[in-house]
Structure 1
């Protein structure tokens, strides 16, 4: 197979989600003494698709050394730096690409993300709009800009206008409608989101993403009859789709049909054994059905660990370190509102990969958590369950962000389908709230986000304290008990995956 054919095949494999197969194809192309620009770019892309972003950076840098006059090489470098959370460096790489004549909408989008990560939100909005000027109907770009407008100003109408403009410029309606519904829900108007999805599902019959989003919104509103109607319509479109089977199982749980739900989920897990979302719902179904699988998946005493951080080198005490860490994080929390597509409510969240920060306290944090993560992996050991069988006793950080909750803030119950181990590290805690009888501000486990019959309360709680790291399986439902005291709560969270 010649180079062009191999690269085309690798791109097709990545589009199918077969990143490791693509990586095997591109590795040989990039390993020669003088690999081509295309070979280096393809291999870096395959590495990123497989989750190896740091390794991809080396090949992007090699492309810059050998093809430094190529604006595409600078674009690729900027994109990888952005993926690594190195916003300031990504900004410079984009500006170098522009200086070499590149004016692509994709580069303006990378530039916008890098500017946002760097805290330059005015220029980030400008860059997003420049991207949309060049390809006005791009739903993904419009959704990112709408989210930025919402987070900065809390203006639903202004964010909505961005999505409308993209539609009128030729954007595909489904992702824009889904972005609108998510925006309305984030703004606290779930009935408006439901009405939009109902109208959309009638206007675009047979659209699977719209039907499933409508079903989940109906479940949040405890409209189980509506949810079941949407699931039946989705089943008529594609009865074998994993997302349809999972949503049907969720409706079964709302109808007190736990055995049927568990049977559906077991069937999908036989085909997709690493799907964290399926395991999360399987745990719920097993708990409702009284099946021993629940104990295997949710052994809270063994699988949830709380570790108090040691003082990092360079600080006289943990309190001093946390004060510096808190100061660095607060400089990143510029937003007025929570992101439209995340679990928190009444607070703000950073959106770039925090482990790429060059702030001393943030860098020290990621060095300091290495020991407790390895301690937790050793404590888990190896086993046949879906958590332990993936344990390689090594890891890499998949995502890392910070959340700052205001009074009344909370995390909606959720799990992390892209992770293996997930976390909450407490920088500041609402101390008065934590002492209340109803455990305000505590992290809770086991409560699903949708209506379940019979109701399913949280099964496990951990009390936060500054400097405490809580680690748990990514498929495990978790959320924050809302707190009403006039305090704030600031955390760092990350997902780790086996390396």
Structure 2
């Protein structure tokens, strides 16, 4: 019986029926309280739905004390419930015993950034490297973290130390060219920067090559490097760059991919009343507990909630989730007929609507989203809940959603293809491959809700 309820709970979790999953997993634990898999799954779903989960994780950890995935999520639950000090202590103790636990290092660094301890966010990597100076994987993981944080000088310093300790290696050469290409240093426009790696094909390296070619004003070379990936699992990383290449070259494939201004970007009024919007705003603000956004996020001058927002059993959030699912179905039904090979139009549209992620963003004066795309999604969104009035936000287009501008660091000179003025209660849907950003607001606060729809398979 315990196996039945465990399998049922995991299946419901996969379908994002989180309340059904929690009920089934609670039954699994009741039938088999010493089953470590059931105990971990139950704790995990409690955490994912925003419930108190520390007690459940402690029971699960007693059954499986060496499980690294359990330890990392347990630490996240502790931090979420206000005990960041203990979360750090548990991660540090585990990392002392297992200094090459890369996920643990990343989890600790992410936690420290979120609680405002940016100055020491990579401390565990430094300690581990001091203990294991010959570990290439540790050094590469540390360098990747520093690049994500755009800590370029620290990255160069640690790269030089890695070279001194380990000698030359292909991994360190990849790190070097990535740092030099992306940091804006003197080699960022060197056409020969990647020559030593010309015989090595790798998706991450090729993405860096694409960006470097665009930075060198060579969209033909960028296109040749990106196009082979459209039929691979990495396609969604490269589609946005194909758009830039085709636009720069005046290729008719650009409108085929992106459509005209309103073909794929739609604004839908969800019909939320002022009372409903006010309650939703209060509930979302209560979830903004982080001191700073995570390193990978596009948020600047604000915060983003953690975990799947739509998994939380908060009435206002579940109400808007239902309205959103209906709006997404409406959006899908209004799209043009399927087109072979198109990242938005090719996937099947008759599958259940599942969320790849859902979150809320609170931007303060001067806050904005930098130019980005959503490579994990199929359809992306913005639902504005509260906006400062026009006088506080600043003259138009302050606060607007802006589409089509390429990453500013590439200096491509591409302006926006279109912009949308935000309106409380209006949901904007668009392809996840679209480049987009928000124009900074001058004063006040901007509260929004967003999500990605998972591509059907």
Tell me the TM-score range normalised by the shorter chain.
0.7 to 0.9
Q: Does 1:324 align with 2:284?
A: no
Shift of 1:221: 2.4
Shift of 1:330: 1.5
CA RMSD of aligned residues (A): 3.4
Matching residue within 268, 274, 279 for 2:229: 268
**Does the 8 Å contact 1:349/1:404 carry over to 2?**
yes
Taking a change above 3 Å as real, the CA distance of residues 267 and 87 of structure 1, as seen in their structure-2 partners, is same
What 5-or-longer segments of structure 2 have no aligned partner? Answer: none
Q: Does 1:475 align with 2:433?
A: yes
Aligned to 1:6: none
Worse-matched range after superposition: 215-224 or 465-474: 215-224
Equivalents in 2 of 1:252, 1:126: separation in Å? 44
Taking a change above 3 Å as real, the CA distance of residues 341 and 230 of structure 1, as seen in their structure-2 partners, is farther
**Does the 8 Å contact 1:419/1:497 carry over to 2?**
yes
Shift of 1:210: 6.9
Q: Which string of whole-angstrom CA distances, capped at 9 and with x for unpartnered residues, describes residues 142-188 of structure 1?
A: 222122222212x33322323322333547221122223333x3xxx
Equivalents in 1 of 2:411, 2:147: separation in Å? 26
Taking a change above 3 Å as real, the CA distance of residues 194 and 437 of structure 1, as seen in their structure-2 partners, is farther
Aligned to 1:70: 35
Equivalents in 2 of 1:432, 1:139: separation in Å? 46
**Does the 8 Å contact 2:226/2:242 carry over to 1?**
yes
TM-score (norm: length of structure 2): 0.85
Equivalents in 2 of 1:99, 1:276: separation in Å? 41
**Does the 8 Å contact 2:210/2:226 carry over to 1?**
yes
Shift of 1:494: 0.7
Equivalents in 1 of 2:392, 2:177: separation in Å? 36
Aligned to 1:277: 237
Worse-matched range after superposition: 105-114 or 301-310: 105-114
Shift of 1:491: 1.3
Judging by fraction of residues, say which structure has more helix. 1
Aligned to 2:451: 494
Secondary structure in 1 matching 2:34: coil
**Does the 8 Å contact 2:401/2:420 carry over to 1?**
yes
Shift of 1:470: 1.0
Aligned to 2:141: 175
Taking a change above 3 Å as real, the CA distance of residues 465 and 113 of structure 1, as seen in their structure-2 partners, is same
Aligned to 1:258: 219
Equivalent runs, 1:176-195 vs 2, <5 Å:
176-183=142-149, 185=150, 190-192=151-153, 195=156
Equivalent runs, 1:299-338 vs 2, <5 Å:
299=259, 300-311=261-272, 318-338=273-293
**Does the 8 Å contact 1:428/1:490 carry over to 2?**
yes
Taking a change above 3 Å as real, the CA distance of residues 420 and 222 of structure 1, as seen in their structure-2 partners, is farther
Secondary structure in 2 matching 1:369: helix
**Does the 8 Å contact 1:151/1:338 carry over to 2?**
yes
Shift of 1:371: 1.8
Taking a change above 3 Å as real, the CA distance of residues 481 and 201 of structure 1, as seen in their structure-2 partners, is farther
Secondary structure in 1 matching 2:292: coil
Aligned to 1:355: 310
Q: Which string of whole-angstrom CA distances, capped at 9 and with x for unpartnered residues, describes residues 199-222 of structure 1?
A: 367556444487268536633527
**Does the 8 Å contact 2:180/2:187 carry over to 1?**
no
Shift of 1:473: 0.5
Number of aligned positions between the proteins: 444
Equivalents in 2 of 1:455, 1:65: separation in Å? 61
